[in-house]
Amino acid sequence: MKFHFGGSSLGSKKYKDDYFLICKLIKKQGHSILHDWLGKTGENKENMYKKTAEAIRAADGVILEGTISAVAIGQQLTLALDSNKPTLILIHLEAGEGPVVSGSFSDPAKRNLLYIERYTQSNLEQKLDGFFKSLAQKHGLTRINLVLDRTIDNYLEWSAFQKKKSKSQIIRDAMQKEIDQDLDWKKRST
């Protein structure tokens, strides 16, 4: 799977070893990191934001080291949830209570995409493995080819633009609504 890993510039200084360990463990599991920004300096903020937003939209999931509360974490979290990306926020156990991250400001329908874990270097791999397994079980996607007439495709283009969602997400939402209303399916699947 492809992941966006993010954090804050201050956090990457204070928890540098943890940031690099998180990236190493993601790759160890055979996953890739889009826009690997760690250790790179001198990139202007506009370009960094653009690359981060593109990475979040292209990712299968988002992992944020959020021990130090920062605007950048909030921006990445908002982009991730608005893009319907399962998101793990890691908060170092030494931070005590640490930042309050509950997703309470987010759309209630998207809170099931938010995972928050407290970690130490010794249990970090376990926390990441749990997130990866949860993604595979809850958020696994299947790719299909779908042939549509022009009218439906035009609607999907328009709706995706208006709702700031992908065409695939518009179709999934419509199918989920159909599933929720189909009593025969509910009887069969229980």
How do residues 48-79 score in pLDDT, each as one tens digit? 889 999 999 999 999 999 888 888 888 999 89
Phi, psi of 4, deg, nearest 5 = -100, 125
Which helix (H) or strand (E) is 20 found in, with range?
A: helix 16-28
- Quick: pLDDT tens for 135-146: 887 766 666 788
Strand order in the sheet with 114-119: 32-34, 2-6, 61-65, 87-92, 114-119
Q: At what angle do helices 124-138 and 16-28 cross, to 10 degrees?
A: 50
117-136 mean pLDDT: 92
Domain 2-138 sits in CATH at 3.40.50.450
Other Cβ atoms less than 10 A from the Cβ of 1: the count is 15
At 85, the pLDDT band (50, 70, 90 cuts) reads: very high
**pTM check: above 0.85:** no
At 3, the pLDDT band (50, 70, 90 cuts) reads: very high
- Domain borders along the chain are 2-138, 150-189
